[in-house]
Amino acid sequence: MAEAIPDVPRTRTSKPASTSLPRVVGDAGAGDGSGAVWNLTPQERTLDANVIHLPAGDGIAEHAGPELDVLIHVIDGSGTLATEAGDLALEPGALVWLPKRSRRAITAGREGLRYLSVHGRKPMLGLLTR
Residues 28-48 have a mean pLDDT of 81
User: What global pTM score does this model have?
Assistant: 0.76
Determine the Cα–Cα distance for residues 70 and 68; give it in Å rounded to an integer.
6
Judge whether 26 lies within some domain. no
pLDDT exceeds cutoff 70 at 96 = yes
Stretch 54-81: mean pLDDT: 95
Considering its fold, how many domains does the chain have in total? 1
Mapping DSSP onto H, E and C, the string for 35-96 reads EEEEECCCCCCCEEEEEEEECCCCEEEEEECCCCCEEEEEEEEEEEEEECCEEEEECCCCEE
Number of residues that this document lists for the chain: 130
Give residue 130's pLDDT: 54
* CATH number of the CATH domain containing 88: 2.60.120.10
Query: Tell me: the pLDDT tens digits for 43-53?
Result: 788 899 999 99
- Cα separation, 53 vs 58, in Å, equals 9
